[in-house]
């Protein structure tokens, strides 16, 4: 198997004054070479925490309490800081959430991209500059603009610079953390188009974190849906659209209007996301689920495969009385 | 003016002054936020205004609501020209037109209880009422926005409510005086998908029950298509296309609308045909262009687009487009 990343039973907790917040619990998924996985969920559901746990960026009061993150067979959770810094950028890199804040305003973008190349690879400054120019051209910016400062670029272009930066050391895996949120619809589509074309060209594996379901369903091969710290469903995009099994996934699909189908009535999900501090053993969706029964309130459903490559965590599947 | 027209905006213009340079070499440039727009809103309809950030959607709404003074133009509401009114007269009109703002976290005073927040508009506009009557109105408004039982909510502070509930309170505040017109400025863009649908359905429901007329501002075409009877597409301070929702979605005629519809309808198609739909380009809103505002990003531009500003022309009953090339474009695509 050409699995690039495999996350097994990852749990990340945060210590708070009121108790332990289980921000991410028992999250498992994997990613093959050249695959694009969409990680979707509402704000506060733990998408970014998953990304940070994979990259080992969780700091006190947060902690990865259990689980393994295997990047090409190496466990990142147990890796030392030295091993990690050799892997970051070269094997795994991030396109951050808002490029406006991710770029340092007092250095030219060329300096910032070169910095990571010089740090991780044994090349001369001239060579690094040459590569920086090529990278900028790759994302559709004139290579000679390496001398510009971030404020001289528009939002969409800054995002492109951030993408160029993430690709600086030819990583195998790129995590894009809501990298298009806050951009205009058309600019967003252009940035997404760029990520997609680069992914194909460089055979990258990409984790696309987003809350925009229509966008993710359009371009990702597989989708994992998160709710309140759990992945509730993980399947190929086609499977998920045709045959969503978890009540939350179904509700989410019904919640946004569809341009192609103007007759569709959008339905909201009643209630709100539960507080994750000291959350009791139960299905995390039971407070808002229309099908919830006693077992859902007492036990945590297991995340398991119900069909080839289609995973979900719901008691309805076990009972066999779905629908 | 037609009898069914509630709001008419004609030749509305807003420029802001941008200052640059040092103290002695101060340069002032004009930024055209809203540039000569015309539209009407009929009684009982929802007009959607869509466009990217900075295109003048919010400025338009703020001018209509008299929160901002226009540079030029006329706004007629129920036959009265709002632009020439005195402050005291404007205040009377405000009872009939209300606004829902974008961010429910910013627009509710954190130091006030829900009851006080909702009493505020009544105290300002219906001074003669007794406390009991006012209280009754608050309860009715909270029940109208489907927060039940209302008594549970009136003594809470905004921070004790979720985002969706806050936005509902903001809506309650807007409808409590039974206005005839509401401007909703991106009311769902700060909310999660799962609660967004609830707010949209609530607004549609209120329109039916109260006979509201609405101006609905959004940047999301699919939300607009769900909510609105007609859509106006804005770009760089201008309305580039306006018409019934169905026509805009099925037969977009302006290249900008075409690109927008393509993105939302089928992102994969957009990715494959990106160059044919839109070009990468920078827009400078500081100078009043001689040509079409979209020319920098338009893949179909011709010589005339650089030199002449296109006018909004009617192409099909009620469907107007401002583009020099739309007729050829329509033929090419159909």
**Percent above pLDDT 70 for chain B:** 94
**Cα–Cα dist B37/B39, whole Å:** 7
Q: Averaged over A23-45, what is the pLDDT?
A: 92
Put simply, the answer to whether A189 touches B271 (Cβ < 8 Å) is: yes
Cα B276 to chain centroid distance, Å, stands at 29
Average pLDDT of every residue of chain B? 88
pLDDT score of A163 more than 80: yes
In order of start, what are the domains of chain A with their CATH numbers? 3-91+171-319 (3.40.50.300), 101-170 (no CATH)
Instruction: Tell me the residue length of chain B.
Output: 334
Q: Of A187, A190, A272, which has the smallest distance from its Cβ to B162's Cβ?
A: A272
Burial class (CB in 10 A: 0-12, 13-18, 19+), B68: middle
Put simply, the answer to whether A268 touches B266 (Cβ < 8 Å) is: no
Q: Averaged over A25-31, what is the pLDDT?
A: 93
Q: Of B193, B261, B280, which has the smallest distance from its Cβ to A252's Cβ?
A: B193
A262 contacts in chain B (CB < 8 Å): 225-226, 245-246, 249
What's the pLDDT score for residue B39? 94
pLDDT score of B334 more than 50: no
Give the residue among A224, A102, A209, A85 at the shortest CA–CA distance from A163. A102
What's the pLDDT score for residue A276? 84
Confidence of residue B11 (pLDDT cuts 50, 70, 90): very high
What's the pLDDT score for residue B3? 62
Q: What is the pLDDT of residues B25-80, one digit of tens each?
A: 888 888 888 988 999 999 999 999 999 888 889 999 999 999 989 999 999 999 89
CATH architecture of B5-96+179-333: 3-Layer(aba) Sandwich (3.40)
What's the pLDDT score for residue A93? 92
Whether B125 and chain A come into contact, CB under 8 Å, resolves to no
The answer to whether the CB of A57 falls within 8 A of the CB of A26 is: no
Confidence of residue A323 (pLDDT cuts 50, 70, 90): very low
Strand order of the β-sheet with B181-185 is B97-100, B181-185, B213-218, B46-50, B230-235, B238-244, B319-321, B313-316
Query: Please, where are the H alpha helices in A17-75?
Result: 47-54
Residue ranges per structural domain of chain B: 5-96+179-333
What's the pLDDT score for residue B276? 80
pLDDT score of B1 more than 80: no
A220 contacts in chain B (CB < 8 Å): none
Q: What is the pLDDT of residues B174-196, one digit of tens each?
A: 999 999 999 999 998 888 888 88
Query: Could you give the ipTM of this predicted complex?
Result: 0.81
B148 contacts in chain A (CB < 8 Å): none
B200 contacts in chain A (CB < 8 Å): 257, 266
Whether B298 and chain A come into contact, CB under 8 Å, resolves to no
The answer to whether the CB of B287 falls within 8 A of the CB of B303 is: no
Q: What is chain B's Cα-based Rg?
A: 21
Q: Of A43, A254, A259, which has the smallest distance from its Cβ to B222's Cβ?
A: A259
Interface of B with A in 269-288 (CB under 8 A): 270-271, 274, 278, 280, 282
Q: What is the pLDDT of residues A276-311, one digit of tens each?
A: 888 888 899 999 999 999 999 999 999 999 988 999
Confidence of residue B282 (pLDDT cuts 50, 70, 90): low
Q: What is the pLDDT of residues A107-154, one digit of tens each?
A: 999 999 999 899 888 899 999 999 999 999 988 888 899 999 998 888
Whether B307 and chain A come into contact, CB under 8 Å, resolves to no
Q: Averaged over A169-174, what is the pLDDT?
A: 92
**Percent above pLDDT 90 for chain A:** 51
Q: Of A43, A156, A185, which has the smallest distance from its Cβ to B263's Cβ?
A: A185
> Of A250-264, B125-139, B169-183, where does mean pLDDT reach its minimum?
A250-264
What's the pLDDT score for residue B229? 94
Q: Averaged over A217-223, what is the pLDDT?
A: 92
B103 contacts in chain A (CB < 8 Å): none
What's the pLDDT score for residue B110? 92
Q: Of A154, A211, A268, which has the smallest distance from its Cβ to B197's Cβ?
A: A268
pLDDT score of A321 more than 70: no
**Among all chains, which residue has been given the structure tokens 């005839």?**
B180
């Amino acid at each position: 198997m050409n699995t690039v990343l495999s996350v097994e039973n990852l749990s990340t907790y945060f210590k708070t004054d009121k108790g332990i917040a289980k921000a991410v619990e028992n999250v498992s998924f994997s990613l093959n070479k050249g695959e694009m996985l969409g990680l979707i969920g509402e704000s506060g559901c733990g998408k970014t925490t998953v990304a940070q746990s994979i990259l080992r960026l969780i700091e006190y009061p947060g902690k990865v309490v259990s689980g393994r993150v295997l990047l090409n067979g190496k466990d990142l959770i147990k890796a030392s800081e030295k091993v990690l810094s050799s892997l970051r950028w070269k094997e795994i890199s991030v396109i951050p959430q808002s490029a406006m804040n991710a770029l340092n305003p007092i250095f030219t973008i060329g300096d910032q991209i070169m910095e990571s190349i010089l740090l991780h690879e044994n090349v001369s400054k001239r060579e690094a500059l040459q590569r920086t120019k090529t990278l900028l051209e790759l994302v559709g910016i004139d290579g000679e603009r390496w001398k510009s400062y971030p404020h001289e670029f528009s939002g969409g272009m800054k995002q492109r610079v951030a993408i160029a930066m993430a690709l600086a050391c030819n990583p195998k895996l790129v995590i894009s953390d809501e990298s298009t949120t806050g951009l205009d619809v058309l600019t967003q589509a252009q940035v997404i188009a760029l990520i997609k074309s680069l992914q194909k060209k460089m055979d990258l594996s990409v984790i696309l974190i987003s809350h925009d379901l229509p966008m993710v369903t359009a371009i990702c091969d597989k989708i994992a849906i998160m709710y309140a710290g759990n992945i509730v469903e993980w399947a190929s995009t086609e499977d998920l659209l045709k045959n969503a099994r978890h009540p939350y996934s179904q509700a989410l699909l019904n919640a946004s209007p569809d341009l192609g189908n103007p007759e569709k009535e959008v339905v909201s999900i009643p209630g709100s996301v539960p507080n994750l501090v000291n959350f009791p053993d139960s299905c995390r969706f039971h407070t808002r689920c229309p099908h919830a029964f006693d077992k859902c309130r007492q036990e945590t459903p297991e995340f398991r495969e119900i069909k080839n490559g289609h995973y979900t965590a719901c008691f309805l599947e076990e009972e066999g009385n779905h629908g | 003016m037609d009898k069914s027209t509630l709001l008419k905006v004609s030749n509305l213009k807003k420029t802001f002054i941008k200052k640059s340079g040092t103290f002695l070499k101060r340069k002032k440039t004009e930024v055209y936020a809203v540039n000569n727009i015309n539209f009407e809103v009929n009684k009982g309809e929802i007009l959607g205004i869509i466009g990217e950030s900075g295109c003048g959607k919010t400025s338009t709404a703020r001018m209509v609501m008299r929160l901002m003074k226009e540079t030029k133009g006329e706004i007629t509401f129920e036959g009265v020209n709002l632009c020439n009114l005195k402050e005291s007269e404007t205040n009377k009109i405000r009872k009939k037109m209300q606004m829902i703002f974008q961010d429910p976290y910013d627009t509710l005073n954190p130091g006030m209880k829900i009851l006080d927040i909702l009493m505020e508009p009544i105290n300002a506009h219906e001074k003669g009422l007794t406390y009991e009557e006012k209280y009754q109105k608050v309860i009715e408004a909270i029940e109208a926005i489907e927060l039940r039982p209302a008594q549970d909510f009136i003594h809470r502070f905004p921070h004790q409510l979720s985002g969706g509930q806050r936005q509902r309170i903001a809506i309650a505040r807007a409808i409590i005086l039974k206005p005839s017109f509401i401007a909703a400025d991106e009311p769902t863009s700060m909310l999660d998908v799962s609660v967004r649908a609830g707010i949209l359905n609530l607004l549609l429901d209120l329109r039916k029950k109260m006979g509201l007329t609405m101006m609905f501002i959004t940047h999301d075409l699919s939300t607009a298509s769900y909510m609105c009877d007609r859509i106006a597409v804005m770009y760089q301070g201008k309305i580039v296309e306006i018409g019934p929702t169905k026509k805009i979605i099925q037969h977009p005629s302006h290249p900008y609308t075409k690109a927008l519809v393509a993105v939302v309808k089928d992102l994969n198609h957009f990715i494959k045909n990106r160059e044919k739909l839109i070009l990468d380009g920078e827009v400078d809103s500081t100078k009043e262009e001689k040509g079409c505002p979209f020319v920098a990003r338009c893949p179909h531009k011709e010589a005339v687009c650089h030199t002449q500003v296109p006018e909004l022309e009617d192409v099909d009953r009620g469907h107007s487009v401002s583009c020099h090339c739309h007729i050829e474009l329509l033929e090419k695509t159909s």
